[in-house]
């Protein structure tokens, strides 16, 4: 899932991730993401979300989705410093948490997404 309120960033990231072979659910903000999740019948392995958005911020959204998808990984992205980002009520997601600083290039995003999904596979294997 990709949640980003700036359409230029969202469209570029969406196109890139789909070209990499990922199935992506797109949402323009936290409220839109909640609606998209309610229509999605399958699992969501990773959510890439902006932290500061109108309405529901990325931290609140992560907390909400963790209730339905307890194994979801979250990659937060923000133009603010990571220390400021933590003040937006981002819960402790341990291995499920990642951060990428804006602006980023698409290669860096791809690497971070792979890293997050690898953490997911490692954590799932460890708990079996």
Residues 15-51: tens digit of each pLDDT: 999 999 999 999 999 999 999 999 999 999 999 999 8
Which domains are present in the chain?
2-127 (3.40.50.2300)
- φ, ψ of residue 15 to 5 degrees: the values are -60, -45
Segment 58-104, tens digit of pLDDT: 989 998 998 899 889 999 998 876 666 666 555 454 446 888 999 99
Question: What is the per-residue pLDDT for 82?
Answer: 62
Beta pairing partners, 113: none
What is the maximum span of the chain, computed from C-alpha positions, in angstroms? 40
Handedness of CA 74, 53, 103, 20 (dihedral sign): positive
């Amino acid at each position: 899932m990709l949640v980003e309120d700036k359409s230029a960033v969202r469209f570029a990231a969406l196109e890139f991730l789909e070209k990499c072979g990922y199935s992506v659910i797109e949402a323009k903000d936290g409220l839109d993401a909640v609606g998209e999740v309610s229509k999605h019948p399958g699992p969501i392995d990773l959510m890439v979300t902006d932290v500061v958005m109108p309405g529901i911020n990325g931290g609140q959204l992560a907390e909400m989705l963790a209730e339905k998808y307890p194994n979801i990984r979250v990659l937060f992205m923000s133009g603010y410093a990571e220390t400021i980002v933590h003040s937006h009520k981002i819960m402790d997601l341990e291995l499920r948490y990642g951060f990428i600083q804006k602006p980023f290039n698409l290669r860096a995003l791809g690497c971070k997404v792979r890293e997050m999904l690898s953490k997911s596979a490692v954590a799932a294997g460890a708990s079996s």
